[in-house]
Amino acid sequence: MKIRVSSDTIRLVIPALSLTILLLWVFYLQPRTMSYLGLNLLFNLAVPIALATIAQMLIMTVNDLDLSMGSFVSFIACVAATFLQSNPLLGIVILIGVIVIYAGLGVLIHLRDLPSIVVTLGMSFVWSGFAILLLPSPGGQAPQWARDIMTARPPFVPMAIIASVIIATVSHFVIMRSSFGVILRGVGGNARSVERAGWSILAARAATYAVAAFFAILAGIALVGLTTSADANIALRYTLLSIAGVILGGGEFVGGRVSPIGAVIGALTLTLAGSFLSFLRISPDWQIGAQGAILIIVLGLRLLLNRMEKRQKRA
């Protein structure tokens, strides 16, 4: 009897397996991490990275790529640590404004048929400039409610893990179960079919960018809630981390093929790799290398299993 493994199963199993193996390796080397405090330290920064990864995943669902994710999250962190803390009403107006700007980027990219990487790369300098204007040097203060949420200590399971499960569940419903998600994946997979069905590609792309901006805003606020202050460069690494998290979680650059749960698991895996190496006082340069090695290994394994699936179909 032949066992057939679907591509959707592969997308979910491989990132889960990579996270499990890495976590068991951590437990073996440092048994003290098998505790509430240890897990909290390992996954401390998982929530903002997971939110940024979901934001990037939404952009990738329509076959685009956001190279401004890191600078945008940094800008949001600066807004949260300044206006959102001292003048909440003005801070909310700014956040609504940047969502509108993001939706406008989706419209511009679609109408002018511009490469998303060029537009978003240009916007990365804009967001960085705004962030520097707000906070020329590290400072500011996180809103108390953001600190309370991110530093909460629920019983049995750390907040980071609970929040990651919630993010995965909500994003899975939005992308995989809702009609909005079906249209989104349709735009990435076969835009002409979606258009023939009567849906506006322009509206879908604008909505995608707006929802992605919303998740990125949550990432910036969550990051400030953890760090208690902000910096114009606080989240620049999130651009590459978010892309790596999506790919590690089973997503692809084209075709609208993504896995929200896998993306969150991918973000957790990258966070675990970085947190553990920091815990061992390893240089940040080695941390980036380790995260890249994990990504290469998982992608190699996924490619191998995809080839096995194709052979099964031919047989």
For the segment 127-161, what is each residue's pLDDT rounded down to a tens digit?
A: 999 999 999 998 889 999 999 999 888 888 899 99
Residue with tokens 């290994």: 297
Per-residue model confidence (pLDDT) at position 96: 96
Q: At a CB cut-off of 8 Å and minimum separation 6, what does 151 contact?
A: 159, 225, 226
Q: At a CB cut-off of 8 Å and minimum separation 6, what does 83 contact?
A: 90, 91, 94, 134
Give 296's pLDDT tier (boundaries 50, 70, 90). confident
Instruction: Look at residue 115 and tell me whether its pLDDT is greater than 50.
Output: yes
| Lowest pLDDT segment from 186-190, 204-208, 220-224, 284-288 | 284-288
Q: Residue 139's beta-bridge partner residues?
A: 230
Name the residue with higher pLDDT: 37 or 59. Answer: 59
The topology (CATH level 3) of 7-304 is ABC transporter involved in vitamin B12 uptake, BtuC (1.10.3470)
Domain ranges within the chain, ordered by starting residue: 7-304
How far apart CA 4 and CA 176 sit, in angstroms, is 22
Q: At a CB cut-off of 8 Å and minimum separation 6, what does 124 contact?
A: 67, 68, 70, 71, 72, 239
Give 57's pLDDT tier (boundaries 50, 70, 90). very high
Per-residue model confidence (pLDDT) at position 312: 67
Q: Checking phi first, is residue 137 left (phi over 0); if not, alpha (psi -120 to 50) or beta? A: beta
Per-residue model confidence (pLDDT) at position 280: 63
Give 313's pLDDT tier (boundaries 50, 70, 90). low
Give 41's pLDDT tier (boundaries 50, 70, 90). confident
User: What is the SS3 assignment for 66-82?
Assistant: CCCHHHHHHHHHHHHHC
Find the mean pLDDT for residues 91-113: 95
Closest CA to 240 of 291, 302, 299, 286: 291
Instruction: Look at residue 254 and tell me whether its pLDDT is greater than 70.
Output: yes
What Å distances lie between residue 257 and 152, 182, 268, CA to CA? 35, 11, 20
Instruction: Look at residue 242 and tell me whether its pLDDT is greater than 60.
Output: yes
How far apart CA 212 and CA 215 sit, in angstroms, is 5
**Statement: the pTM of the whole predicted model exceeds 0.85:** yes
Give 276's pLDDT tier (boundaries 50, 70, 90). low
List pLDDT tens digits, range 80-99: 999 998 899 999 999 999 99
Share of the chain above pLDDT 90, in %: 50
At residue 187, what is the residue type? V
Is the alpha carbon torsion for 145, 151, 154, 160 positive or negative?
positive
User: What is the SS3 assignment for the chain?
Assistant: CCCCCCHHHHHHHHHHHHHHHHHHHHHHHCHHHCCHHHHHHHCCCHHHHHHHHHHHHHHHHCCCCCCCHHHHHHHHHHHHHCHHHHCHHHHHHHHHHHHHHHHHHHHHHHHCCCCHHHHHHHHHHHHHHHHHHHCCCCECCCCHHHHHHHCCCCCCCCHHHHHHHHHHHHHHHHHHHCHHHHHHHHHHHHHHHHHHCCCCHHHHHHHHHHHHHHHHHHHHHHHHHHHCCECCCCCCCHHHHHHHHHHHCCCCCCCCCCCHHHHHHHHHHHHHHHHHHHHCCCCHHHHHHHHHHHHHHHHHHHHHHHHHHHHHHHC
